[in-house]
Structure 1
Amino acid sequence: MKKTTHVPSNLTKLAKDFQSIDQMMTMLPVLKKMPIIDISEVLSLMENKDLFTVLCEFPISEQGEIFAEFPLVKQLSFFQQISKKRFSKIFEEMPSDARADLFQILTQQEQIDLLPFLNKHIRENVLALSSYPADTAGGIMITDFATVSRDMSCFEAIQKVRQDAPSKKTIYYVYVVGEDQTLVGFITLKDLIIAEPDVLVNDELHTEFVFGYVDESSESVAAKIDKYELVALPILNSKNQLVGIVTHDEAIDVIQAEHTEDMERFMGIISNNEELDYNQTSIFDHFKKRVFWLVTLAIVGIISGLIIHSYEGALAQMMILALYMPMVADTGGNAGSQSATVIIRALALGQVNMKSWFAILWKETRIALMLSICLGVLAFAKVVFLSWETDIPAAYSLVAIGGVIALALSLQVISSTIIGAALPLIVKKVGGDPAVVASPAITTIVDISGLLIYFSIAATFFNLK
């Protein structure tokens, strides 16, 4: 087991500044005491020709672990600049899921060039895992696990675990299978160690267990691991045969990716499946991800301009209304976005469902009423105490104007909250993703409704044209 040490905060910066391979080689004693993930972070900054030299200083088993932590783009560029025979040794030592991820992004010719140098077991394994879609349990599972038979003694089972030699992060569960690899239960490593050597595995067997299927979505599998607080989840095929496991760290990656995708959609950014971070994404790719919603909503936003244009006369008669248009619009947009965020999160976590849509809207309406009273009083006070020097028609008092603006803002908060809650529910009802009801879309819709409410109430109370 690699010794974990404190990582100097400036180590990565120093690695960037090194100009020669000799300087990097002087760091080897320090590097070899660091966790794999930190070694990978430093080495991934190197040029490929120098990287190979430094990587060879580590045991071959660690080379695969270090390489697996590199970004996919770095893995691909390194693969393309090294002999396939030499690369195969590193490739075989990578975790099975990382091997499959890299193999899937290779071109067909690159796959053909690599396969002859892999041993039969690895070749079959990578081809099998690569056949599953990336967004399924099969696409994220690994084959690094231990199995035993129920008729073994605990002593024999421990010997079998040693033979299977699973990694330290997957060894906690030992799966019990039948002759045809059908999963019948599991036993923990703790059970095996504590039990008497001659006790049968069958006597310690846990037959109640949670599992997933290879064609199940990765999000569903990750949710099970999170819900039941599992270290790993067994994955079965259609014959209930154990074909792999999904570990908790893989589940965390899936959940993080899903949250990122939902956030991008909610903010009106068209998401894609590329595993590129901010720095690795080109300016043009950022542009493509953002432009669609913004252009679409800018076009829809013309309606707001038409509404204001139709009430030019009212604004000319009472200019104070123009001063508080932004306040009404912003408050409505914030209320709508808040409501939508709460409902989308509740839907994602399974806290609410479509059967309770009426209860959801009724609850949000009551919340909106309380918010509208609070914000309406604040708006009234702001108009009365901060606008006393503003020119207003002699026929109207500042208190009356403040009351109308407060009423319009209160109604805007109520309508915006209901719209924000209803849109995700409507999208969910028609089979869409609630996250696509992006924040910019809600803001645009609420702006239009808010302007209609604002000017309609003002025109009604003050007989404006």
Structure 2
Amino acid sequence: MSAEELKDLVKGFERVEKVIELVPLLKRMPVVEVAEILSDIDENYLLSVLDYFSPSQQGLIVAEFHITKQLEIFKNTSRKRFSLIFEHMPSEARADLFQHLTQQEQAELLPYLRKKTREDVIHLSAYPPETAGGIMSTDFATVRIDMTCAEAIESVRQDAPSKKTIYYSYVVDKEMKLLGFITLKDLILAAPDTLVRDAMHTEFVYVRVTDDREDVAGKIEKYDLVAIPVINHIGQIVGIVTHEEAIDVIRAEHTEDMQKFMGIIEANKDFDYLGTSSLEHFKRRAVWVISLAALGIVSGMIIHRYESAIEKLLILALYMPMVADTGGNAGSQAATVVVRALALGQLSFKNWLQVIWKETKISSLLAICLGLLAFGKVMFLSWETDIPTKFSLSVVASVIALALSLQVISSTVIGALLPLIVKRFGGDPAVAASPAITTVVDITGLLIYFGVATTFFNL
């Protein structure tokens, strides 16, 4: 039975005893799947089910829950009971949860924690969540540079890092300054009396505790690392960031960029769609939508300005939506490509001339295709439309096609430039949001559309 089928089955249980009957099966499944199956169970019942797992399993399961679920468990559990779960959560998950607690809740939990755990969580929680220090783990092994390989193996055994991080051991001096690393394979294959200094790797990649978490994830991806060491201002190793954490960061940053790009203002980084009230959804979306709706008055003013032209040639009104929609699509597409290139470090503001030139070439090819399509569309749909005798349908179709082509080119260039301009002034390029681009190109599109029409038809 798949995890999804088990999840649906558990949802249908009205008594916790039925879920408990499945515990032997759940214990044989990966922790992430167990967490997925148990995620919808009421917190009071969930604790009864978790009691059938070992403390270490409980910590790993709860660590896989969404932060809102973890907070609900915390609030519905005695501090002493929760401390047993908290103790066995991975260090980075503990720190993340601890930062989401109020100061009073933190003070209530700390007395029940062991000294080592208490010091660890306070240490990790001191770093901002957007930095390497905020996402690092203290689950790593170190060996001294003056040890033999046999001594190093014994040291690693005593450190007992998890199976996820045991492959690398970091070589340090007496002051814990990072000097290099040595792999488990190196230690096993070396002669027992070989010194670590003679077997270690001195060329390595590292990050500082204050580095942005997105840059950290980028380094892990670039160098294809299992984990990357984190050092403080004097070169001491204080933690590591694993590739799993890097994947979570990349996913979170991508979600954040998409929310900004679509004009959904960030109110809470741990946003849970179903767990967030409708009012909160409204607050997140209203700013951009209402602001841009107000800006849409400009579009109304332009249409009002050319009202006489529309009265003389009514067919122009029929194809205004086509021109506006095409321009919006072209602008949003260009902005998406540029925002992604900026995020990957492929572009900067100094490349703006190259971007304009490249997007002009691309948009010109698009304009030819879309212009021909628009011409054919007008000829096909409007062959029975009443047109003043001094104009022919083919001429009207040609003018509309020309206006649409110019709109595609201008919209593409605007969509590509807006993120670069925002980046130049130190902002987040993702805030050049799709709704904003659509509104801007709507205004420029109407100006181009009626400007071309009045020029050719002397309206």
What TM bracket, shorter-length normalisation? over 0.9
The aligned amino acid for 1:27 is: L
SS at match of 1:180: coil
Paired residue for 1:19? 14
List aligned pairs for 1:139-218, cutoff 5 A: 139-218=134-213
Tell me the number of residue pairs that the alignment of Structure 1 and Structure 2 aligns: 459
Residues 349 and 421 of structure 2 are in contact (CA less than 8 Å); yes or no, is this contact kept in structure 1? no
Residues 3 and 36 of structure 2 are in contact (CA less than 8 Å); yes or no, is this contact kept in structure 1? no
SS at match of 2:357: helix
Paired residue for 2:318? 323
SS at match of 2:77: coil
The aligned amino acid for 1:168 is: K
Unaligned runs of 5+ in 2: none
List aligned pairs for 1:212-231, cutoff 5 A: 212-231=207-226
1:242 Cα shift?
Answer: 0.3
Residues 4 and 37 of structure 2 are in contact (CA less than 8 Å); yes or no, is this contact kept in structure 1? no
Residues 229 and 241 of structure 2 are in contact (CA less than 8 Å); yes or no, is this contact kept in structure 1? yes
List aligned pairs for 1:278-317, cutoff 5 A: 278-317=273-312
Output one character per residue of 1:151-195: Cα deviation in whole Å (capped at 9) or x when no partner: 222222111111101111111211001100000000112222222
Paired residue for 1:351? 346
SS at match of 1:147: strand
Residues 7 and 38 of structure 2 are in contact (CA less than 8 Å); yes or no, is this contact kept in structure 1? no
List aligned pairs for 1:273-422, cutoff 5 A: 273-422=268-417
Asked whether 1:120 is paired with 2:118, we answer: no
1:343 Cα shift?
Answer: 0.9
Distance, in Å, in 1 between the alignment partners of 2:457 and 2:398 is 12
TM-score (norm 1): 0.96
Distance, in Å, in 2 between the alignment partners of 1:95 and 1:264 is 29
1:345 Cα shift?
Answer: 0.9
Output one character per residue of 1:395-448: Cα deviation in whole Å (capped at 9) or x when no partner: 111111111111111111111111111111111111111110111111111011
1:454 Cα shift?
Answer: 0.7
Distance, in Å, in 1 between the alignment partners of 2:112 and 2:11 is 34
The aligned amino acid for 2:293 is: A
1:290 Cα shift?
Answer: 0.5
Distance, in Å, in 2 between the alignment partners of 1:186 and 1:212 is 14
SS at match of 2:174: coil
SS at match of 2:4: coil
Distance, in Å, in 2 between the alignment partners of 1:370 and 1:86 is 66
The aligned amino acid for 1:84 is: R
Residues 7 and 34 of structure 1 are in contact (CA less than 8 Å); yes or no, is this contact kept in structure 2? no
Distance, in Å, in 2 between the alignment partners of 1:379 and 1:109 is 64
SS at match of 1:243: strand
The aligned amino acid for 1:214 is: V
CA distance 1:381–1:49, change in 2 (3 Å): closer
Distance, in Å, in 2 between the alignment partners of 1:388 and 1:440 is 34
Residues 58 and 88 of structure 2 are in contact (CA less than 8 Å); yes or no, is this contact kept in structure 1? yes
RMSD: 1.3
TM-score (norm 2): 0.97
Paired residue for 1:462? 457
1:8 Cα shift?
Answer: 4.4
* 296-305 or 266-275, which deviates more: 266-275
